Amino acid sequence: MSDVILANAMLVLPSEVIRGSIRVQDGHITAIEQGAQVPAGAIDCESDLVMPGLIELHTDNLERHIEPRPRVSWPHASAIIAHDGELASVGITTVYDALRVGSVVSNNKANYGEYARKLADEILDLRAKGALRISHFLHLRAEVCSETLIEELAKFGPEDRIGIVSLMDHTPGQRQFRNQTQLRAYVCGKHGLSDAEFDAHVAVQIALSSRLGAAHEAAAVSEARRFGAVLASHDDTTRAQVAVSGQHGALFAEFPTTLEAAKACRDHGIKVMMGAPNLIRGGSHSGNVAAQALAEADLLDVVSSDYVPSALLSAGLMLGDLWGDIARGIRTVTSAPAAAVGLQDRGHLGIGARADIVRVTRLPGATTPRGTWVQGKRVA
C-alpha cells in the first residue's frame, strides 16, 4: 500500500486542533507534524479539517435501503452495498449495523417478522468478499416485547462480529412509547390500523410483555456475554430503569428520554448516547429530552446518526461550537464511541492508530466531507 500524506490541514487531535500534516503507511498513521508545509507528493488540504473516521454505534439506515418504500423489498446485496457507500461518503468508517431480533408472529396487522440472521449472513458474506468499503460490526437490538427473542438470539454466536446487544422494550405505555397519543400516530400511520385495531394491538403487546418480558430481558443479558458483546440500554426514562440497566452491566445508554435518566446514568457510570437528528433539529421528534439540553448539562458522551447518516459529522461539529472546543465535539463521534465498545485501534489521530481518516470542509450552514480513508485506502 502506497504512502499517503495529508498536509496543510487543521488536524483534529484528541485534545486540540493544530495545523499540520499526517503520514500514513501500511494502513496506519506513522507521523504527525506541525506546520503548513506541503511536501512533494502530499495532498494539500488547503486548511480543511482532518479528523478520525467517524464511528456509528446505532443506525437504522440499512432498513431504509432494504425497504425504500412501504412493502417494497429491495435486493439485499444491492441495499447493503448502497448503505455502505452512503456511510463512507459522509465520513463514517466503522458502523455497528443495528438489526432487530425478536418478532411478533401472531395474527394481528402490526406483525413484524424475523430477518436478522439472514441479513447478518449477507453482510458478513459481502465483508468476506471485500465488497464493502468500511468496517462493519453487528448490533443486535433485542426486543423484549416479542414472541421469538430467545430462539432468534440462539442462532448467533461469538463468530458473528456482534459488538453490541441493546435491550429494547417497546411495550406501550412506558419508555419511548409512554405517550399513547404519539404511539397511536406512529403505529396507525405505519400499519394502517383503525382506532379499534390499535387498541387491540396495545392490549396484545402489554400482555405479551407481562408474560415474556422478564425472561427475554434475562436471556438478552446472558447472550450478550456469550457473544462477547457490550450491553446497552435503550430509552431509559426513570432512575429505577437506569439502576436495572446498571445491574445488568450496561456500559452505555441509547437515547435516555429524560434529564432524570441521563443524570442517573452519570451516577451509575453509564455513558449517555443521543441522536444527531435530535441535536440538529433542536429537539426529539418523540417529545423526549433534547440532546442539546443534555450537552449543556455536561451529560452527553456519544452521538449516533440514528436515521440520518450525514447528521453524525454535523452533530460533532455543532457540539464543538456549542462547547467552544472542536476537539471535544469530534470526540463524541470518534474516540468516545470507540471507547464505549472497546475499540482501541481507531477513533483518534495518533502514531500507530488505524488510518481511518476524514477530510472535511466547513461552509456556511453546511459541512462537506472531501475524502474518506479506511486503513489508508481512499474509499470516498
Q: What is the pLDDT of residues 137-152, one digit of tens each?
A: 999 999 998 889 999 9
For residue 121, the enclosing domain spans 54-344
Q: For residue 314, is pLDDT > 70?
A: yes
pLDDT of res. 305: 97
DSSP state of 104: B
pLDDT of res. 217: 95
Identify whether residues 204 and 333 lie together within a single domain.
yes
For the stretch 54-85, what's the b/e string if a residue is b when 16 or more beta carbons lie within 10 angstroms of its beta carbon? Answer: bbbbbbbbbbbbbeeeeeeeeebeebbbbbbe
Average pLDDT over residues 233-255: 96
pLDDT of res. 175: 65
Identify whether residues 215 and 73 lie together within a single domain.
yes
pTM comes to 0.92
CA–CA gap between residue 271 and residue 292 (Å, rounded): 16
pLDDT of res. 191: 62
pLDDT of res. 186: 61
Q: For residue 88, is pLDDT > 80?
A: yes
Q: For residue 110, is pLDDT > 60?
A: no
Average pLDDT over residues 249-273: 97
pLDDT of res. 199: 67
pLDDT in tens, 162-177: 999 999 986 665 666 6
On the CB side of 90, CA atoms within 13 Å amount to 21
Identify whether residues 361 and 310 lie together within a single domain.
no
Please check whether residue 138 is in contact with residue 122, taking contact to mean a CB–CB distance below 8 angstroms.
no
Q: List, in sequence order, the alpha helices (H) in the chain.
A: 61-66, 76-89, 116-128, 149-153, 180-191, 195-227, 239-248, 259-267, 276-281, 291-296, 311-323, 326-331, 335-340
CATH number of the domain bearing residue 355: 2.30.40.10
Q: For residue 192, is pLDDT > 90?
A: no
Identify whether residues 351 and 259 lie together within a single domain.
no
Identify whether residues 33 and 77 lie together within a single domain.
no
| Residues in contact with 66: Cβ distance below 8 Å, sequence separation at least 6, in sequence order | 73, 74, 76, 79, 119
Identify whether residues 357 and 253 lie together within a single domain.
no
Identify whether residues 78 and 42 lie together within a single domain.
no
Sign of torsion over alpha carbons 42, 43, 46, 52: negative
pLDDT of res. 113: 84
Query: Helix, strand or coil for residue 358?
Result: strand
CA–CA gap between residue 106 and residue 250 (Å, rounded): 31
pLDDT of res. 184: 57
Q: For residue 233, is pLDDT > 70?
A: yes
Identify whether residues 27 and 59 lie together within a single domain.
no
Identify whether residues 45 and 64 lie together within a single domain.
no
Please tell me the total count of domains within the chain: 2
Identify whether residues 204 and 262 lie together within a single domain.
yes
CATH number of the domain bearing residue 221: 3.20.20.140
Q: For residue 84, is pLDDT > 90?
A: yes
Identify whether residues 9 and 118 lie together within a single domain.
no
pLDDT of res. 208: 78
> First and final CA of the chain: distance in angstroms?
17
pLDDT in tens, 17-71: 999 999 999 999 999 999 999 999 999 999 999 999 999 999 999 999 999 998 8
Identify whether residues 16 and 155 lie together within a single domain.
no
pLDDT of res. 206: 76
pLDDT of res. 193: 65
- The two most distant CA atoms of the chain are separated, in Å, by 71
Mean pLDDT of the chain: 92
Please state which of the ranges 33-47, 204-218, 220-234 shows the lowest mean pLDDT.
204-218
Q: For residue 92, is pLDDT > 60?
A: yes
Please state which of the ranges 169-178, 203-212, 215-224 shows the lowest mean pLDDT.
169-178
Name the amino acid, one letter, at 226. R
